[in-house]
Amino acid sequence: MDPIRARALSLEHHLALVALRTGQPSVDIIARLFNAIGAARFLHEAAHGQETPEQSRFEQAWRVLLECSNRMREGRPAAMNEADLVDLQKLVLLHDEQMATTPVHQLLAARHRLGHWLDQVAQFDWPSDDPATPIERCR
């Protein structure tokens, strides 16, 4: 990926984390983090397979973002605890590394897979108390 574009995306992702940390999330902020974490996950799976110890980190990140999104939708405070924010930050940093080292065609393939997955998720209305994440349902 072009280094300028990678830095711009990285900045967007890190600013989204700052917004969460300062208690100012929005739908756009959550969407940016879903995109970063989702792309990081699919790039990780492409390189290492689906059965790795890191998979639980991605699952937890999805749960945290879904819970935050649900609280926002219900008009409740969407604050996250510091441990969850640190975990999200680690995955955003992983994605920074991926954007710097992964060939463009693989980055585009991960984004395409993420877009396809999001299209599948958008077709369903799952209850917010369902413990399974959408990524588990759409495999």
Structure tokens that stand for 32 in this block: 């940016």
Residues 81-98 have a mean pLDDT of 95
Region 113-133 average pLDDT: 65
For residue 35, pLDDT beyond 60: yes
What is the radius of gyration, based on Cα positions, of the chain? 15
Residue 102, CA distances (Å) to 5, 6, 55, 97 in order:
13, 11, 19, 8
Domain range annotation of the chain: 3-137
> What is the rounded average pLDDT of the residues 14-36?
91
- The rounded mean pLDDT for the chain is 85
Query: 8 pLDDT exceeds 70?
Result: yes
127: pLDDT strictly greater than 90: no
For the record, the structure tokens of 62 come out as 């999805």
Q: What is the pTM of this model?
A: 0.81
